Structure 1
Amino acid sequence: MTTTKPARTDNDPVKGSVKSAYSLIGLQVLSRFATFTLNQLLLRLASPKVFGTAAIQLDLLLSTVLFLSREGVRNALLRVPREYSSSAEVKNVSTIPVLLGAPLAFGLTLGYRTIASPATRAQPYFDQAVSIYALAALVDLISEPLHNRAQSLMRFDLRVKAEGTAIIARSVCTVAALMAAGEHWSLVAFAAGQLAYAAMVLVVYATTFWKAGEFQIFPRRVHENGKSRIPFDPISLKLALTMTGQSVFKHFLTEGDRIVISRVSPLEDQGGYAVASNYGSLVARILFQPIEESSRLYFSKTLSPPSPKKESKPTKPSKEAQSQAATTLQSILFLHFHLAMALTTLLAPLVPLLSDFLLPPRYRSTAAPRILRAYCAYIPAMGLNGILEAFVHATAMPAQLQSQARWMVLFSIAFAASVSLGASGALGVKWDDTMLVWANVANLGARALYGWIFARKYFEKDLVSPRRVRPCIPGIAAFILSGIVAKWSEVNLDQRGQRFKHAGVCIGSGVISLSICLWTDRSRFIEIFKAIQGRKKVD
């Protein structure tokens, strides 16, 4: 049997991470286009009540099983040096999500059925849909060791093929089931689509690695000196367990809004929140998620991860590696802040126009338009936190991760307290679903601040500086002025029916502001552009 294709690897972490970014951005463009098209169809086929149950509650159940089972292992394995990634001990660590998945899926499914509201449980075929979602999670986790193997080989093309095919399968299956069976079977249709996604991912990974003779989804025994044992790499295992424990708090902070919404809001409002969340996260998923994942890969490989053959503390990365990583981190943050300024100042005034285009009439009366507006601040905060947490997870030692976990406990308590006070009316403000978004913005900001402080301490003095990541003062002033102009235009043009003139004002002021930034900081942009071009030429 040939092993040529899966064994293909790339020993350059810079080249690999750049290829990863381009591949994942392409995958996210396909994913979001399919999701956008699917949403437009589903919003017209499914009621807000059904859409809210599927996109908020059932999807939360699925993501909880997947995240808690695999996130810690994924991050730990990224830090294994390439020369050890094929060892039996490391491969056995990659199978841990399969072992964790079954008890987690059973326990969480049982718990969800117990706490679900009567209105939720009363929907047709609710129990069957929950069971299918749990099965989809298990099927997805079976492919996880193969996903990890592809990542260690930097086979990003395989991941794009698997997930891209699965996205199309989910979209086609969900819409076909809804159209064929009708709204009475809506929850089952959503569940069937998710199962189709998981099955397609498994099929693509399994066929590739089976042909190559590298198919492994369970731990394997090693026979040495007449004895049989199942070895796990101790360093990777310890790191994976630490990160898995931390993922409980991270998941609560990441999904806190959906947890609260599923408990306190009517199903119709849950549908509106789900729609706004899906549309609001388009930019985040297309751009920020690939950058976050590629950054984690790049920093993991560049900044000297510990060897699995040694229990000793790893040596400090070389000055050259530190300088390169610091420059990359600051360049990513520099570009991110420019995009954040555009989103927060110019996109928010366009939300009423976009809402009329994106939302069917029965969804416009839900919380969706208000939440879309709040997402204009949430998206940049999510991107900033994702970049900095990727750096922390790629470089922190177990003791430092435990320290971060303690801070996450405090962030979780603060988030829960603020939401509880807001929902109870103790703050003297009427409860609104947008408060969840703003609470999340504050939470993400606090986590990003922790990541920034960690990065400043990690690098040698002055390698990372606020001056190197912030936009130029004239650019900041231009975007502030553009935001004022856009707000004036919203009041005087948009609300008087002149919506296309309003859009022209927003786009025009944005182009002018961005031009000022590009001209004033042209040397920095040219430097970053040349670095990207140089890495592309390596390919």
Structure 2
Amino acid sequence: MDPAAGRPREALRAAAALTSWSAGLQVVIRLLTFLLNAFTLRYVSKETIGVVNVRLTLLYSTILFLSREAFRKACLNVGAEQKWAQVVNLLWLTVPLGVLWALLLCWIWLQLVTIPDPALIPHYEVGVVAFGLSAIVELLSEPLWVLAQAHMLVRLKVIAESIAMVAKCVLTVLCVTIAPHWGLCIFSLAQLLYSSCLLACYVLYFVKFVGSQEAQRKSFPLSTLGDLMPKFLCHQHVINPRLAILTWTFYKQSFLKQVLTEGERYVMTFLNVLNFGDQGVYDIVNNLGSLVARFLFLPIEESFYVFFVKVLERGKDIGHQKQEDVSVAATVLEMLVKLVLLIGLTIAVFGYSYSQLALDIYGGSMLSSGSGPILLRCYCVYVLLLAVNGVTECFTFAAMSKEEVDRYNLMMIALSLAFLGLSYYLTWWQGAVGFILANCLNMGFRIAHSLQYISHYFKHSENRPLVGLQLPRPLLLAYLGSAIVTAFSQASLSQQGLMALSVHVLLGAVCLIIVLITIFFTEPKFVWFVRTQFLSQDKKET
């Protein structure tokens, strides 16, 4: 039997295992963060929440994204024949690059954007420095993160993030309870602790793992701890030129993707279209609305990007690849599209009727009595688009050639400019809702491009993965009926006391069960895929 024949199946099992572990433990992490935010809302002002979750978190995520995203995409595409010493050398460039970005962006955050009133939000400068330093600390673990992902060390990433998040939450709760007047200093210390714990977990794991029998069993390419550090290589390039060029290609794209991903925060930070209080409410709703996207869609996208780059040959015509590999990739793509579409539709349908209740439970009348419910309802529709885009773009980036990525970069430039313009004018017209509308339009354009690419990619193949977007009529009727029943229930029962509210929740539960039963009977292929790939994973690492 050809050893390569089992390669796509093995990669699929590994990707599904990684997604299952990530999704399962990310639920715990995100619920913990969810409860932490609900707790801190009782102790700190919404203006402080706005500065931390919009201004400072944007600084932190921008430094990380611009320093490591391109390296991740390029180095996760490395084959078994690659000299990993060159890859490690390339990955360590993220640290000095991160230092440069941190210095530049911290200066911008301190000198070129509106500074909060010190009487209302003290210690802003401390927060900027601390969040910038936290990003640099986290970048020190980047080579280890890529090695773990590339070699399917399934549990390491999630366990490390879990420990770091728990430590961050415990410190935040203690400080907010004991000394709420510390303000931004609390969140700065907590962020530094998070990055430090993350780095410590990766270092301790690899100290134990490198050179062990388990590493040999997994064919781990590095045998000593010294191999994890940058080094001069005799008689060969210090870094692989082809990989460096691919990284630069992705790097040019990373600027644009960051603008598209965090566009509304950049508009809020630099154009002051919303005050800090409104920014805080928007960010709370954004975090609540994106809960599923963070703990489920993101692990799926990250894990199956690794799967697609291992199974398909980048930039190579489909007719010149192993047809078994192509067939497996197409089937997986079809099922993933179906999975995220069903989850997104469920959130959009039930989110409309239960947004106000969710916000009332989460943050009290501060969130549920204002624009919060409208924001969350719109965000539920955005989650549907976000889900489909994540999977389709995941496949597209894994299959594109360097030239195709370059052409896509040009389109992203136009899309980025249009998105920023839309964000500004729609926010001026509709307030915070305008951000979500701009995001929906942006996501729609990106989905259209990915669908066009996938359709063209499989044009000369028997495989048609985009049929995953088609739903059977009984299931569509079940969603439509649930939307009507729960919307009527929300309009007539949600404001009439505890008993009526209980009936409203019960009706929603019944409708959800009907939808799930309909999925079970009308989508047998999809149910089999979920059951075999996500619900029947061995507890051992693949």
TM-score by length of 2: 0.89
- For residue 283 of structure 2, what is the aligned residue in structure 1? 274
- For residue 392 of structure 1, what is the aligned residue in structure 2? 396
- For residue 236 of structure 1, what is the aligned residue in structure 2? 243
* Residues 415 and 443, structure 1, Cα contact 8 Å, conserved in 2: yes
Match of 1:21 among 19, 22, 25: 19
- For 1:216 and 1:102, the matched residues in 2 are separated by 23
- For 2:332 and 2:386, the matched residues in 1 are separated by 19
Change (3 A) 1:203 1:318: same
Which has the higher mean CA deviation after the structures are superposed, 514-523 or 474-483? 514-523
Match of 1:333 among 323, 331, 337: 337
* Residues 304 and 317, structure 1, Cα contact 8 Å, conserved in 2: yes
- For 1:531 and 1:35, the matched residues in 2 are separated by 28
Match of 1:214 among 220, 225, 237: 225
- For 2:472 and 2:538, the matched residues in 1 are separated by 27
Superimposed CA distance per residue, residues 356-393 of structure 1 (whole angstroms, 9 cap, x where no aligned partner)? 11113444455433322222111121111111111122
* Residues 65 and 105, structure 1, Cα contact 8 Å, conserved in 2: yes
Paired amino acid for 1:241:
W
- For 1:113 and 1:170, the matched residues in 2 are separated by 25
* Residues 13 and 533, structure 2, Cα contact 8 Å, conserved in 1: no
- For residue 437 of structure 1, what is the aligned residue in structure 2? 436
Deviation at 1:30, TM superposition (A): 2.3
Paired amino acid for 1:296:
Y
- For 1:421 and 1:264, the matched residues in 2 are separated by 10
- For residue 176 of structure 1, what is the aligned residue in structure 2? 174
Which has the higher mean CA deviation after the structures are superposed, 69-78 or 207-216? 207-216
- For 2:225 and 2:399, the matched residues in 1 are separated by 29
Change (3 A) 1:154 1:466: closer
- For 2:183 and 2:415, the matched residues in 1 are separated by 37
Which runs of no fewer than 5 residues in structure 1 stay unpaired? 1-9, 307-311, 425-429
- For residue 298 of structure 1, what is the aligned residue in structure 2? 307
Deviation at 1:110, TM superposition (A): 0.6
Deviation at 1:495, TM superposition (A): 3.6
* Residues 349 and 483, structure 2, Cα contact 8 Å, conserved in 1: yes
Paired amino acid for 1:205:
Y
- For 2:41 and 2:534, the matched residues in 1 are separated by 40
Deviation at 1:232, TM superposition (A): 0.8
Match of 1:186 among 172, 183, 186: 183
Match of 1:258 among 265, 272, 285: 265
SS in 2 for 1:222: coil
CA RMSD of aligned residues (A): 2.5
Deviation at 1:510, TM superposition (A): 2.6
- For 1:499 and 1:336, the matched residues in 2 are separated by 30
Matches within 5 A, 1:483-522: 483-497=483-497, 498-522=500-524
Which has the higher mean CA deviation after the structures are superposed, 65-74 or 17-26? 17-26
- For 1:536 and 1:322, the matched residues in 2 are separated by 26
* Residues 16 and 303, structure 2, Cα contact 8 Å, conserved in 1: yes
Change (3 A) 1:177 1:67: same
Deviation at 1:16, TM superposition (A): 1.5
- For 2:475 and 2:110, the matched residues in 1 are separated by 52
SS in 2 for 1:220: coil
- For residue 88 of structure 1, what is the aligned residue in structure 2? 85
Matches within 5 A, 1:111-510: 111-119=108-116, 123-183=121-181, 185-211=182-208, 212=210, 213-214=224-225, 219-224=230-235, 231-262=238-269, 263-305=272-314, 316-365=320-369, 367-424=371-428, 430-459=429-458, 460-497=460-497, 498-510=500-512
Q: Identity of aligned pairs, percent?
A: 30
* Residues 305 and 394, structure 2, Cα contact 8 Å, conserved in 1: yes
Paired amino acid for 1:435:
G
SS in 2 for 1:82: coil
Match of 1:107 among 104, 107, 115: 104
Q: Across the two proteins, how many residue pairs are aligned to each other?
A: 515
Deviation at 1:48, TM superposition (A): 0.3
Change (3 A) 1:350 1:110: same
Which runs of no fewer than 5 residues in structure 2 stay unpaired? 1-7, 211-223
- For residue 309 of structure 1, what is the aligned residue in structure 2? none
Superimposed CA distance per residue, residues 211-247 of structure 1 (whole angstroms, 9 cap, x where no aligned partner)? 53335676321123xxxx7611122211111111101
* Residues 269 and 366, structure 1, Cα contact 8 Å, conserved in 2: no
SS in 1 for 2:42: helix
* Residues 333 and 465, structure 2, Cα contact 8 Å, conserved in 1: no
Change (3 A) 1:58 1:215: farther
* Residues 143 and 217, structure 1, Cα contact 8 Å, conserved in 2: no
Deviation at 1:104, TM superposition (A): 0.4
Superimposed CA distance per residue, residues 487-532 of structure 1 (whole angstroms, 9 cap, x where no aligned partner)? 1111122244422212222222232233223223335533653465
Change (3 A) 1:257 1:269: same
TM-score by length of 1: 0.89
Superimposed CA distance per residue, residues 381-422 of structure 1 (whole angstroms, 9 cap, x where no aligned partner)? 111111111112222111111122122122212212222332
Deviation at 1:113, TM superposition (A): 1.2
SS in 2 for 1:45: coil
- For 1:11 and 1:492, the matched residues in 2 are separated by 51
* Residues 14 and 535, structure 1, Cα contact 8 Å, conserved in 2: no
Change (3 A) 1:304 1:270: same
Deviation at 1:465, TM superposition (A): 4.7
* Residues 206 and 215, structure 1, Cα contact 8 Å, conserved in 2: no
Match of 2:29 among 3, 28, 31: 31
Paired amino acid for 2:109:
Y
- For 1:193 and 1:316, the matched residues in 2 are separated by 51
Deviation at 1:478, TM superposition (A): 2.2
Which has the higher mean CA deviation after the structures are superposed, 462-471 or 479-488? 462-471
- For 1:265 and 1:94, the matched residues in 2 are separated by 38
Paired amino acid for 1:195:
L
* Residues 92 and 232, structure 1, Cα contact 8 Å, conserved in 2: yes
Matched, 1:47 2:51: no
Paired amino acid for 2:434:
M
SS in 2 for 1:81: coil
Change (3 A) 1:151 1:279: same
Paired amino acid for 1:511:
I
Paired amino acid for 1:222:
L
SS in 1 for 2:357: helix
- For 1:528 and 1:267, the matched residues in 2 are separated by 43
Change (3 A) 1:471 1:15: same
Change (3 A) 1:420 1:433: same
Paired amino acid for 2:301:
E
* Residues 132 and 195, structure 1, Cα contact 8 Å, conserved in 2: yes
Change (3 A) 1:94 1:347: same
